């Protein structure tokens, strides 16, 4: 049996002092600690602001960082 996980396409990205907050197409928001994403934690605001929304995640080309929504939903730190 397949589980319907909703529409997990990311539609927006925001940063707080210590979290990455991703809003999904179905309205859910995922907050991930920046400590779990060292490249984002140590990046400048300008580098963080330059991202590409992908169907299943977010890509920061200047930082060579890719985060998948499925991993964020499972609570997995970036590798």
What is the structure's pLDDT at 11?
Answer: 96
What is the structure's pLDDT at 23?
Answer: 96
Average pLDDT for 44-49: 96
What is the structure's pLDDT at 44?
Answer: 96
- The full DSSP string for 3-60 is -------EEEEEE-SSEEEEEETTS-EEEEEGGG-HHHHTS-HHHHH--EEETTEEEE
> Rounded to two decimals, what is the model's pTM?
0.86
Tokens encoding 47 = 């580098």
Range of the domain at 69: 10-74
**Residue 5 is assigned to a structural domain of this protein:** no
- What's the CA gap between 58 and 1, in Å, rounded? 28
**Residue 3 is assigned to a structural domain of this protein:** no
**Residue 79 is assigned to a structural domain of this protein:** no
**Residue 19 is assigned to a structural domain of this protein:** yes
User: Please, what sign has the CA dihedral across residues 54, 22, 27, 73?
Assistant: positive
Which domain CATH number covers 49?
3.30.2020.40
**Residue 66 is assigned to a structural domain of this protein:** yes
Based on the structure, what is the number of domains in the chain? 1
pLDDT at 45 over 80: yes
12-40 pLDDT, tens per residue? 999 999 999 999 999 999 999 999 999 99
């Amino acid at each position: 049996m397949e589980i319907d996980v909703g529409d997990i396409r990311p539609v927006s990205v925001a940063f707080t002092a210590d979290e990455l907050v991703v809003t999904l197409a179905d309205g859910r928001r995922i907050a991930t600690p920046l400590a779990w994403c060292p490249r984002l934690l140590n990046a400048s605001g300008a580098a963080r602001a330059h991202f590409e929304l992908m169907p299943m995640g977010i890509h920061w080309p200047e930082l060579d960082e890719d985060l998948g929504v499925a991993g964020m939903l499972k609570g997995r730190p970036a590798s």
